[in-house]
Amino acid sequence: MKQINFKAIITALLFLWSVIVFFPGSYSVDSWNMYGQMISGKYTDWHSPLLVFTWKVLYASTGRFFTIYIFQMLLYWLFIYLLLVRINKNNIIFWLGICLSVGLIFIPQYVMKDTHNCIPWGLASVLLLISGTTNQRSRFLIICTLLLLVYGLLTRMNAILALLPLLYLWLETYFYQKDRVLKK
């Protein structure tokens, strides 16, 4: 009999709980402007076209405006799961991490480009950390991490300076001095 993944079940339940409690999510004025651009098809350069495009793809496949909120919450809980997956469930740090992630839920339930920038970068950072500690450097992991970094940048273009250290770590992890990444 296959062992049940306790951490995946906890994370999935917290994902469902957070989606239900905060449904349909909170939207900033910028988010409603992006929604208007997505509906009208008339884009400006004030907001990220990638976030509007992501919302358009999700909206076209479901017909529901709140799919961007569910997508954002899915990325958040995937980030939390990957962050805590290697910590023993009997360790106090694991439970503190769960409590902290629930306490911080007020940030990702708010749909805005800042949150949509930070969550993919957090997810990419965790993938870099996992790759650096396990020496897993598969092509799939390399591409996923780079796509998350680029997606985060293209949702908030003026964060390019914040991307540089992450991009440097990405290059170090996958292409250069692979054994000293954790020290950096």
pLDDT digits over 92-138, tens only? 888 898 888 888 888 888 777 778 788 888 888 888 887 766 666 67
**How many folded domains does the chain comprise?**
1
177/171: higher pLDDT: 171
| Band (16; pLDDT cuts 50, 70, 90) | very high
Query: Has residue 84 been placed in a domain?
Result: no
Query: Has residue 60 been placed in a domain?
Result: no
Question: What is the predicted pLDDT for the residue at 19?
Answer: 92
Q: What is the pTM of this model?
A: 0.82
When pLDDT is averaged across residues 79-100 and rounded to a whole number, the result is 87
> Max alpha carbon distance in the chain (Å)?
55
Query: Has residue 1 been placed in a domain?
Result: no
Tokens 């017909």 identify what position? 63
Query: Has residue 11 been placed in a domain?
Result: no
Query: Has residue 118 been placed in a domain?
Result: yes
Query: Has residue 18 been placed in a domain?
Result: no
| Band (1; pLDDT cuts 50, 70, 90) | very low
Residue 148, domain extent: 112-184
